[in-house]
Each structure stands twice: as structure tokens, then as C-alpha cells.
Structure 1
Amino acid sequence: MQRVMRFELQVDNPQAAIDFYADVFGWKFHQLEGHDYWFVSTGESGEGIDGAIMKSPDGVARTVNSIAVPSVDQFLAKIEERGGQVVVPKMTMPGMGYLAYCIDPEGTIFGVSQTDPEAK
């Protein structure tokens, strides 16, 4: 069974969102060098997952959940076979792994993410 591993907040103003979530919830942020992408640490203990904040590519605010998979390529094929659509093809996140964004048959966007520290 594949589990949600990370959330991503896509917003118009990342700094405003960072300020809000840091102030309200005490979350910590670390910017990915050279990118408008910030990793979010939501805590050290207890239930929950970490995430990220980024500038929305189309100006629409949304939350995208990424699901951990052993192979992005295999799951993209399964998603398309079952009526889903790949909307952002597999991309490399150097030192982290691979990620792609899809839409399910009901129109919900989600990510599939494969961990690979050797990714370049």
C-alpha cells in the first residue's frame, strides 16, 4: 500500500504563506537552493507529515499530496491505464528522487514521488 509522504502548498505569495504558517503553527522552512521551493518541517514528534511551499505555476492556490511509490515510471503507467492523466511528467529532484504530477479521473491533482538519493 502506498502512503502520502508530503503535502505541497502552491500559493501566489510563498513568503506570506511562510510567515503565516511559521507564526500560527511554528513550522520551520528551508529553501531549496536556487528554487522558489521551501521544505516545511511540521514537527519533530507526533503524528503528521512534512511538506513544501512553492509559488503556484498558474496562480491558483491548492494543496497537492504526493504519494510515495517504488517506481514513478510504473505508477504513471498504472495511472494512465486506469483513466488518470499525467499533467507534469517525471522530473528529477537532485539528491532526493523523482516526482510527477497527475490528475485522477475525478479531477484531483496529486503527485507520485520516488525516493532516490542518487538522483541527478
Structure 2
Amino acid sequence: MLKLYTCYCCSFPFKADDGMLPCECPACGASPDNFLGEPYNEQEIRRIHVDPPTGNADRDPMDLKWHMPKRFPARTRNGRLRRFVFEYDEPKILRDFYTDVFGWDIINTETSNPERPLMYCATGPGNANWEPRVVSFCYGFLKARDSEDTGLHPMYVIEVDSIDKTVELVEQYGGKLRKPAYTVDGQLYAVVEDSEGNGLYLWQTPSTVTWEEPESQTL
């Protein structure tokens, strides 16, 4: 039976079958004691997961004092802003800047040219799959400015279920396809331009996603 659990170390809510419980919190790695039982001996640090409030059918839609959060569908990461992209002329200078000023963990991606690498940036604590361990921040890339061949210099990566279907919608709503689907390190990307000329990378959700990852949750 699927149940909802909350980790009392990091507040991360997750669902799991009570017959196949994880051996640690999928977000922070805390032991099962931190999500199977409430820490009654430490009431002051308890963190309780609560469901979002339900909508009020009588609410005035023009009253903007409170915006009811949208309930996004499960088992899809379509539309999520997932990565940033900053460009460099001198890779070491930019790498040192973000490493020393902000403390980022930066590595070259596997198939990069060592002289002009595509670098992956962890901007906060992460899991073994190089995804953020907790919510509220994202990871990103540093790439050579002269490797950008669309003239748009996109700064953000949006994850989508299907690049082909998303491109159809982009064009339907006044945008343009600026670079057809291509592969980087086994991942499928494309570049589009929105209706106002802003460039965006599209990243198709990998087929290896299990929907159990913290970044896949919709609770």
C-alpha cells in the first residue's frame, strides 16, 4: 500500500509502498528512524508535512491577495526550469570565479573538450545522480561562448516530455525552432525561441527516469 512519509530531518515528503520502504530518506539520506517515527522527544524541531489547502469555489477570481498553487500532474517533469547556462571566454577564470566566490562544485562533463569544456555546476548539496538533494535551487552549466551557434545565447534549460511535441506548441504560439534535436552526453536537447525572442534550451526527460527520484516528485 502506498503511503506518504515525511523526513523530519529535511522536511522532504515522499511516497513509498509500505512493503518496499527505502533504507534512507531519498532527499537527504537520513535513516528510517527519521521518517518512520515522529521525534516526540524533540518537539521543537518537528517538521510536519501538510497538504496544500483546497480551493474555494466561492473565491473571487479577481482577488489577488492569495494565489492557489496549481496541482501539477504526476509522472511528468514537463515544463520545469531545470538548469541555467552561463558562457565563458576563459574557462579557468569563470570556473575559479564561481568556485571561489560562491563555493560551487564544478566538473567537466564526460565527453567535453578539455580545452573548452562543458562544465556541470552543483550549486548546493546533491545526490549521487548530481541532482539537488533539497528543493529551492538548481544546478547548471558553464559553456564556451563560441560554441553557441544559434545567436540566441540561451541561459535556461526547460525539461519536456517530448521535444517534437513541444516544438509544435512553440511554433503554434509564435515561437521558433532555432536548433533541431541534438545529443550531448547521451541527452537530447534542442534550442527554441519564444514569442518574444528569448532563447531556451529544451531537454527531453531521459528514458532512465524511474519517477522515484526526489526531483521527480509532485507531492
TM over 0.5, yes or no? yes
- How far does residue 112 in structure 1 lie from its aligned partner after superposition? 1.0
Partner of 2:51: none
Partner of 1:56: 145
Partner of 1:109: 199
Q: Which amino acid aligns with 1:50?
A: Y
Q: Which amino acid aligns with 1:99?
A: Y
- How far does residue 46 in structure 1 lie from its aligned partner after superposition? 5.3
Deviation sequence 1:74-109 (CA, Å, 0-9, x none): 1011111211111121112344x2111111121111
Change (3 A) 1:24 1:92: same
- How far does residue 73 in structure 1 lie from its aligned partner after superposition? 1.1
CA contact 2:80–2:158 (8 Å) conserved in 1: yes
Q: Percent identity?
A: 28
Change (3 A) 1:83 1:48: same
CA contact 1:10–1:63 (8 Å) conserved in 2: no
1:4 partner SS: strand
Which structure has more strand as a fraction of its residues?
1
The answer for unaligned runs of 5 or more in structure 2 is 1-71, 73-78, 126-133, 209-219
User: 1 CA distance for matches of 2:173 and 2:154?
Assistant: 23
2:37 aligned with 1:37:
no
Partner of 2:5: none
User: 1 CA distance for matches of 2:111 and 2:164?
Assistant: 27
- How far does residue 41 in structure 1 lie from its aligned partner after superposition? 0.4
- How far does residue 14 in structure 1 lie from its aligned partner after superposition? 2.3
Q: How does 1:74-113 map to 2 (within 5 A)?
A: 74-95=165-186, 97-113=187-203
Larger relative contact order (CA 8 Å, sep ≥ 6): 1
User: 2 CA distance for matches of 1:20 and 1:74?
Assistant: 38
Q: Which amino acid aligns with 1:55?
A: A
Greater shift, 51-60 or 69-78, is seen at 51-60
Instruction: Give structure 1 regions of 4+ aligned residues with deviation exceeding 3 angstroms.
Output: none
- How far does residue 20 in structure 1 lie from its aligned partner after superposition? 0.2
TM-score, normalised with respect to structure 1? 0.84
User: 2 CA distance for matches of 1:28 and 1:117?
Assistant: 26
Which protein shows a greater Rg? Answer: 2
The answer for unaligned runs of 5 or more in structure 1 is none
Partner of 1:69: 160
TM-score, normalised with respect to structure 2? 0.48
Change (3 A) 1:83 1:46: closer
